[in-house]
Amino acid sequence: MPPKLQDLPPELLDHIMYFLPPSSIMHLMVNRKMQPVCEQYRIPYRSLHLLKAFALRPDLALLVQKLFISLHWCHPGEIASYKLPTLLQPDGLATLSLAKNIRSFGIIGVNWLSDPTLAHIREVVTHMNLTSLFTADRDSIRDDLETSRAVVSNLRAILQSQPQLESLSLSGYRIDVAIANTIDTTDVPNLRKFQGRTTLAQAFLHAAPKLNDLNLALGTESRSNTPFPQIGDGHKIRALTTIVFLKYSSSWNSFGSFLESFPNVESLAILSVDWFDDGDLSSYFDS
């Protein structure tokens, strides 16, 4: 019996998907075994084809106000055959510049805030007029000083070009505390919502005078049984989202004092992952 496509190793399937057009990927998704591999390519290619449409119809580009590009499937510099799509190379990004009315922009899957070879992406973003910016570190960048300096320096340059920015998400970025604290009020005069790890959240809480919505659920601090961190300037927050990994029951001992850091919260969302290995959750709440 000849081998079937779905029986190939996931790494090989992933490589094959990179070269397929969206129409072929949609056909493959009818196979249940292929769906997990295909899903990550279905949506990213949609946004890249939209950029192609911008070149053909600049009038349509002016109608786009929200654009999200996922490149989780792309690994430039790590695997020789993988590279950024042509549309995200310096010449190709001219089409993105045609979308002059984008207000909400996101790009994930490549470390464009720190990688010196991706400065062209940062340059295009600085010429946007955004109210919302979303990015995520694919590999959860380590907080080494060199990387931290690059991320914060490039981020501040972008923030200073976006005075109307109200929402910022920096999922996964781990930044040295001292370097994160260089973020200044002039960088984020109108920021109202932030998503990211506690270290960066602290810096933005201190710097952003209008920040009142904080989402810590995209960080990974509580994946261990370490205590919940204390948050300064938490009195500014009106809406809070956080995450709890329930199997680490010892972290709950500091959860109450963590919440006390936010005395003025009006909207609270707690996302829970896993469950206790033993014991009863009710014992951690007042009767």
Give pLDDT tens digits for 157-192: 999 999 999 999 998 788 888 999 999 999 999 999
User: What is the percent of the chain with per-residue pLDDT over 70, rounded to a whole number?
Assistant: 67
**pLDDT number for residue 42:** 56
Q: Residues near 277 by Cβ (< 8 Å), separated by ≥ 6? A: 247, 249
Residue 96's pLDDT band (cuts 50, 70, 90): confident
Phi, psi (5° rounding) for residue 107?
Answer: -145, 125
The residue with greater pLDDT, 91 or 160, is 160
**pLDDT number for residue 276:** 44
Residue 126's pLDDT band (cuts 50, 70, 90): very high
**pLDDT number for residue 285:** 41
Q: Residues near 97 by Cβ (< 8 Å), separated by ≥ 6? A: 124, 127
Cβ distance 230 to 257 under 8 Å? yes
Which tokens hold the place of 151? 């991320």
Distance CA 134, CA 167 (A): 8
Q: Report the side by side order of strands in the sheet with 66-70.
A: 66-70, 104-108, 132-136, 167-171, 193-196, 213-215, 239-245, 267-273
What is the number of H-type helices and E-type strands within the chain? 9, 8
**pLDDT number for residue 82:** 47
Ordered alpha helix ranges (H), 57-137? 58-61, 119-126
List C-alpha distances in Å: 157 to 22, 117, 182, 208: 35, 17, 12, 16
Task: Round the CA-based radius of gyration of the chain to a whole number and report it.
Answer: 21
Mean pLDDT for 76-100 is: 63
Ordered alpha helix ranges (H), 234-275? 255-259
| Angle 219-154-177 from CA coordinates, rounded to 5° | 45
Q: Which letter, b or e, does each residue of 245-268 get, where b requires 16 or more Cβ atoms within 10 Å of its Cβ?
A: bbebbebbeebeebbebbeebeee
**pLDDT number for residue 223:** 47
Range picked from 69-78, 85-94, 253-262 for highest mean pLDDT: 253-262
189-242 pLDDT per residue, tens: 999 999 988 888 999 999 999 999 999 865 545 444 555 666 778 899 999 998
**pLDDT number for residue 39:** 62
| Angle 188-189-192 from CA coordinates, rounded to 5° | 75
Range picked from 27-31, 43-47, 136-140, 270-274 for highest mean pLDDT: 27-31
Which tokens hold the place of 240? 């809070």
